Chain A
């Protein structure tokens, strides 16, 4: 395989999957008989269903936690929020939920400053999980549903639905503290979903989950996004973020340093070439300008080339050493982009 990778294929696949899940959502909400007001049906144009974080800043004494943090999450979008520990992800989410006040800046929902009323329509999963340890899972979900404005009957229906959907229906009458951590996590997600939120803000929803639970969680997030709900979640599992998210924001030291579609971010990253030329000796790239050798093992070399460097020139140099068995143009993965960002942080 020579030339560019074709990420569009996967993109199309993702899109298709989301559409299918969209149908599934409409069926399931009808199934549970809830009076769900989906954003689209309210007659407001889709474009307005946007969660905007506009130049939000926050300091703790001399420590700057956030500095002009800005991004938006649109309807139907899965937004991945990545950054190293202490970069400001949790602080941002807590400000969105109003449990922390920003020093400056504004959070808007559908163009209006967010208030208690609009916050009630957010499903929130805090970083430090929060449920009453001695309350039964089902009772807890019903209570939270009611606090968010559901009638008791609707809250019970919705709680049953989500416990079933997330595979913890058998544990509905157990105290939360007696559940395994993975099951507590599922109940926690159910708590974020029980009131049919119109926005989802999830802090590290995947941490501590087994692979099956990760699949269930991913499916639910895709499904909600497909139903028109803006979903923002933070995670350190970058392969997951790359697979799930349409857009990603990378935070460093309280600032958004990169925020775009995953493929565009990757495309903007440095180009890499993997070359397999068995007869090429060490240092065969030494004479090439703008080309750095990252790794060389068993005749296979990974190179990073500067923008504007012609990869065909490298191919020619490789062919000059003998046969070339592989010549692949690669884009860095999200994990690699992230590492670059973190290492820049260390340098500064």
Chain B
């Protein structure tokens, strides 16, 4: 018999934790649930995006104005999809079935326009201006003038200058910030609490006494945190891959590089956030001996990030340059759920991101030391709840 080294011991513990989590029903259910939620979100987003475009069917001579119509309407801030239609009957059928919103028939200078019930005012204005243009060109041609005189008039227009131009990709960035923030928040909380539950399970079943007759408390703690952390990482990766695929195929996402980048950094944030909370939650869990008592000791650790997440996320989406959300995103407990969102929105300067990561690393070191100490002192004391002060002070047994 050989003495297993520390690495082998930690690997054994981590492997058991990972296998236990991944095989559990709750892991499968929560993964599927989040993927479904994201799919619904993406679907809604793409439907909303499409509903703003007007489908115009062109028939006969009017087919020739398709490009001009699209240019004219987009200048007026309206997306138009054009298609050519065989004849009036076919076009009217498409109107009634909702495949078309507007049907344009007949000669270019005097077209007939058919709609199901109401006419989109922007499309009407664009059509009017196009028809007038055609009419003027007709008159000019009859009088022997070249149509190019119109171009001079065409080139004269009013071009407004926006002080804060709207980013056409802002919608996608916001959606991504929400999704990444939500998934990170959910995963860190779920798997962090899972660590605390695992600690209490070992305490309440007394198996910890057999384990600690063989391995050291910190080896058990580290193995447990790594195993559960990897299970969580696996879930986040599955969600990211499926979510990205859905968003790409539905056409809701036109920024693949940006999305992939923010998902990769989300994995990093997940790890930072998980390690920060896991040791704290493990320490909290080690204070009690029964699952029923667990809620009371972990609530202080889990509630704070909820507040930070809810307040911070809403603030930064509605008001990107808000100072409160900036400050909150630099506090280690909130950084992993808020900073990725701010990066996705493009409102986090590099120095803030670097500072956030450094502060988190410092906090992880501090909490691991503190949590490890509490855990080692409290994990073998079964029965009544161990007071935090006792767990911190006394170095029983080790």
Q: B-contacting residues of A (Cβ < 8 Å)?
A: 35, 37, 94, 97-101, 116-117, 119-122, 124, 126, 128-135, 143-144, 146-150, 191, 195-196
Contacts and interface: CB of A to CB of B under 8 A. Distances in A.
Closest 7 CB pairs of A and B: A130-B206, A130-B207, A97-B213, A101-B397, A128-B206, A126-B209, A149-B4
A129 B398 CA distance: 23
Given A119-B213, A121-B1, A132 B206 contact: no
B12 interface: yes
Interface of B: 1-4, 9, 12-13, 16, 20, 201-202, 205-216, 380, 382, 396-398
B12 A143 contact: yes
A100 B380 CA distance: 8
A129 B209 CA distance: 9
Contacts of A150: 1
Contact of A98 (B1, B3, B206, B397): B397
9 contacts: A98-B212, A99-B212, A100-B396, A130-B207, A132-B205, A133-B205, A135-B20, A149-B1, A149-B4
A100 B397 contact: yes
Contact of B9 (A100, A132, A147): A147
Given A143-B16, A147-B214, A99 B209 contact: yes
B1 to A, nearest CB: 5
Given A126-B206, A132-B205, A146 B12 contact: yes
B209 A120 contact: no
B211 A147 contact: yes
Contacts of A133: 201, 205
B12 A37 contact: no
Contacts of A191: 210
Contacts of B205: 130-133
A128 B382 CA distance: 10
Contacts of A143: 12, 16
Contacts of A117: 3
The residue in B2, B206, B210 that gathers the most chain A C-beta atoms within 10 A of its C-beta is: B210
Given A132-B201, A147-B9, A126 B210 contact: yes
Given A147-B211, A149-B1, A101 B398 contact: yes
B292 to A, nearest CB: 15
B207 A132 contact: yes
Contacts of B208: 130
A148 B214 contact: yes
Contacts of B214: 116, 119-120, 144, 147-148
A128 B202 CA distance: 12
Contacts of B215: 147
B198 to A, nearest CB: 10
Contacts of B211: 147
A131 B201 CA distance: 10
A148 B398 CA distance: 20
B92 to A, nearest CB: 66
B4 A124 contact: no
Contacts of B12: 143, 146-147
A81 to B, nearest CB: 17
Nearest to B11: A146
Given A97-B213, A99-B212, A149 B206 contact: no
A116 B210 CA distance: 13
A98 to B, nearest CB: 6
B377 to A, nearest CB: 11
Contacts of B216: 116
The residue in B202, B207, B212, B216 that gathers the most chain A C-beta atoms within 10 A of its C-beta is: B207
Nearest to A119: B213
Nearest to A201: B213
B61 to A, nearest CB: 75
Given A122-B213, A124-B213, A101 B4 contact: no
Given A100-B396, A146-B4, 14 more contacts: A94-B209, A100-B397, A101-B397, A116-B214, A120-B214, A130-B208, A130-B209, A132-B207, A133-B201, A143-B16, A146-B12, A147-B214, A148-B4, A149-B3
B1 A99 contact: no
Given A100-B397, A119-B214, A148 B209 contact: no
Contact of B1 (A116, A128, A148): A148
Contacts of A134: 20
A101 B132 CA distance: 97
A128 B210 CA distance: 10
B213 A195 contact: no
A63 B325 CA distance: 54
Contacts of B201: 132-133
A131 B1 contact: no
Contacts of B397: 98-101
A24 to B, nearest CB: 22
A149 B12 CA distance: 11
B213 A98 contact: yes
B20 A99 contact: no
A59 to B, nearest CB: 12
Contacts of B3: 117, 120, 149
B204 to A, nearest CB: 9
B194 to A, nearest CB: 13
B396 A101 contact: yes
Nearest to B203: A130
A99 B16 contact: no
Contacts of A135: 20
A117 B4 CA distance: 10
A124 B211 CA distance: 10
Contacts of B210: 124, 126, 130-131, 144, 191
Nearest to A148: B214
Contact of A128 (B209, B212, B213): B209
B4 to A, nearest CB: 5
Nearest to B382: A128
A124 B212 CA distance: 11
A59 B396 CA distance: 12
Contacts of B213: 97-99, 119, 122, 124
Contacts of A130: 205-210
Contacts of B398: 101
B200 to A, nearest CB: 12
B387 to A, nearest CB: 14
Nearest to B202: A132
